Amino acid sequence: KLVKEEFQHHVGVNYLFAPWISWLLLLQCAPTAGAQPGTAAYLGLWWALVLPMVALDIKIYGQWFTTKGQRCNLTAVANPTSLMTVIGNLMGSRAAALMGWQETAMVLFSLGMVHYLVLFVTLYQRLSGPNTLPAMLRPVFSLFFAAPAVASLAWAGISGRFDTAAKMLFFLSLFLFTSLACRPSLFKIAMKRYNVTWWAYPFPITVVAIAATEYAEEVGATEADVLMLGLSALSVVVTFLLLLFTFFNTRLTILSPHHHQHHLPATTHALKDGTASTATALAGLAVPNN
């Protein structure tokens, strides 16, 4: 029942991509020789992880232009968590490129980027309205700069180098990162009390740092090295601080519903909206950082 509710929720359905994204990241970082790109294990795991995302793509993207009425219309349901659908496709594209499946990588890259452009324009113009995302989930605004960063890495994997197209996507990511960093008031409500949605920060910062690393290796400039070190340090610091906050606030995630209702009205309100339970999936996105 809970899965069905999330599947039908305009925010919750996007979090169904989180496990597949996490596992694709882990697959690309697998230390064992038996799971390296090109092996049977890698190929089997890639299919097992990508096919569910493609099925979700058909469901989510298809209803945007085939469903009548406002219930599933893009301008009504689009929110920053929708970018997770794009990131999932781009992660699958990079994983395919690593094993030499260039055409398959291009398919997933094209699917992700076309819908990224649609989402970017919709969200940039705020056509989706101000009430589609609870205030406690505003940390997911960081996905704005995660998507182009992942796209730059995916394209670098396809082209074989961090070329001009990859650099353009990386620069877009840096601009969006700077734009959000200059607007701390946007996250003021969400940061008043610890919440598991804070784990939305490490993944975007880390992928930008990884993209900065590949950019620095490509251009070989001192300024690029400084940028790489700065973003990498920021990623480590943010992840470490979140680990500490999570450790000292573990009780908030195991309290009874009655205790939550008494002490955490914001979380309870989000639970009524059907979104708080899906927020825990964000923790999975931070796994590769640890």
Least confident range of 54-63, 91-100, 108-117: 54-63
Predicted TM-score (pTM) of the model is 0.80
User: How far are the Cα atoms of 56, 86, 108, 257 from residue 114, in angstroms, in the given order?
Assistant: 16, 9, 10, 42
Q: What b/e readout covers 72-105, taking b as 16+ CB neighbours within 10 angstroms?
A: bebeebbbbbbbbbbbbbbbbbbbbbbbebbebb
Does residue 74 surpass a pLDDT of 60? yes
Give the model's pLDDT for residue 231.
Answer: 95
Does residue 273 surpass a pLDDT of 70? no
Could you read off the pLDDT of 241-259 as tens digits, one per residue? 999 988 888 776 554 344 4
- Residue 33 is part of a domain; what is its CATH number? 1.50.10.150
Could you read off the pLDDT of 180-205 as tens digits, one per residue? 999 888 888 878 888 888 888 999 99
CB-based contact 212:228 (threshold 8 Å):
yes
Burial of 258 (0-12, 13-18, 19+ CB in 10 A): exposed
| Mean pLDDT calculated for residue range 149-154 | 95
Give the model's pLDDT for residue 70.
Answer: 57
Burial of 124 (0-12, 13-18, 19+ CB in 10 A): exposed
Does residue 284 surpass a pLDDT of 80? no
Does residue 131 surpass a pLDDT of 60? no
Q: Distance (Å, rounded) from C-alpha 108 to C-alpha 181? A: 30
Q: Distance (Å, rounded) from C-alpha 88 to C-alpha 177? A: 20
Least confident range of 56-65, 86-95, 109-118, 155-164: 56-65
Domain hosting residue 13, numbered range? 2-289
Does residue 65 surpass a pLDDT of 50? yes
Of residues 213 and 121, which shows the higher confidence score?
Answer: 213
Tokens of 24: 């694709």
DSSP-H helix ranges across 125-256: 143-159, 164-181, 202-219, 222-248
CA dihedral 50, 56, 62, 68 (to 10 degrees): 180
Q: Which of 27-31, 114-118, 271-275 has the highest mean pLDDT?
A: 114-118
CB-based contact 21:288 (threshold 8 Å):
no
Q: Distance (Å, rounded) from C-alpha 135 to C-alpha 115? A: 25
Domain count across the chain: 1
Give the model's pLDDT for residue 4.
Answer: 63
